[in-house]
Amino acid sequence: MSFSSATKEEVANLRIKKPCCRLAAFAALVQLAGSLQLGAGGKRSVVLTTESYAVARWAVKLSKALYSLESVILVKEHKRLGKNRSFSISLSGEQEVMEGMLLDVGMLCQTEEGLTFGSGLNEALLKEDCCKRAYLRGAFMGGGSLSNPERGYHLEFVVRTSSLAGDLCRLLNEYDLRSKTVERNGAAVVYIKESERITDFLALIGAHGALLELETVKTNKEFKNGLNRRFNCETANIKKTVDASLRQKDNIRYLINHDAFSSLSPELRSAAEARIEYPEATLAELGALLDPPVGKSGVNHRLRKLERIALSLKDKKGE
Ligand SMILES: [Zn+2]
């Protein structure tokens, strides 16, 4: 099961205690996943579309509790589209009940000319903090999706109208979630990118299981990155040592090949011989091999001196 589906499953099992919050959650679900349909005899119904069975169950449960609506669930298989299946939930009821419900959720608005289609958020539903959170829960169930945290951090909502997208974006940002809107294939999309903001959102809607999962994946990823950084750093140090040793050996060979070796002091000669013989030894190891032994900085000093002599010789010869 994807991370997104698992989170929806978790949210579907959370109890919404207050009727005000239940209505706010249902309104968001209908606004994001629903479309209004006119049947025979002007009979209105709302059809919700979702890929999540948990969301389908949740929609039926809420519509029953709030309005005693009748529901029919249709399953569509789309093997060829790479998706598994989707569910259409058709909600219907008495004309007056349906009209009341559509007004409540903001799909219809009462104006002086009569009923019109509503396109934004019904502010009357969002007076309390509890209801705002419940609305966000419903929005996630109706149009939200979360990417698998192993692959990246992305939460988005696909929204019916750009005015509703703007409203949802503002509501999310009341909680400092830094959401943004974008148009994609003619649809309005509200998204959140930062992992901290996504965990804040999950906390806000009460999806604590998903929050924990995301935090665990993130911690593991950071630990792995830390190990990689350390490994890369060690590899770089080894490479530096090997490069220096090769350079020292080249310069010493140059001195030998140009008969400059015998004129060196015994200290320099012994350091040069040790380096040729033990190309992979560290400075401290080379120092311990000398007679009498010298410290790391002493060896470094001698090798640098050897290099300087070789370079000045090369210079003299114009090489
Ligand atoms: Zn409430």
Domain residue extents for the chain: 3-206, 238-316
Which residues, given as ranges, of the chain have pLDDT below 70?
A: 80-83
Distance from Cα 20 to the centre of ligand 1, integer Å:
4
What pLDDT is stored for residue 15 in this prediction? 92
Distance from Cα 256 to the centre of ligand 1, integer Å:
88
Distance from Cα 210 to the centre of ligand 1, integer Å:
23
Distance from Cα 19 to the centre of ligand 1, integer Å:
7
Element (H, E) at 126: none
Distance from Cα 247 to the centre of ligand 1, integer Å:
74
b vs e for 172-203, b when ≥16 Cβ sit within 10 Å of the residue's Cβ? Answer: beebebebebeeeeeebbbbbeebebbbbbbe
Distance from Cα 133 to the centre of ligand 1, integer Å:
8
What pLDDT is stored for residue 308 in this prediction? 93
116 pairs with which residues across the strands?
A: 109
What pLDDT is stored for residue 270 in this prediction? 92
CB of 105 closer than 8 Å to CB of 27: yes
Distance from Cα 17 to the centre of ligand 1, integer Å:
9
Which pTM was predicted?
0.74
Residues with CB under 5 Å of ion ligand 1 are 18, 20-21, 128, 130-131
Query: Which CATH code is given to the segment(s) 3-206?
Result: 3.10.28.10
Distance from Cα 55 to the centre of ligand 1, integer Å:
20
Give dist(CA 198, CA 152) in Å, integer.
11
Give, in order, the Cα–Cα distances in Å from 182 to each of 22, 118, 162, 186: 29, 21, 9, 10
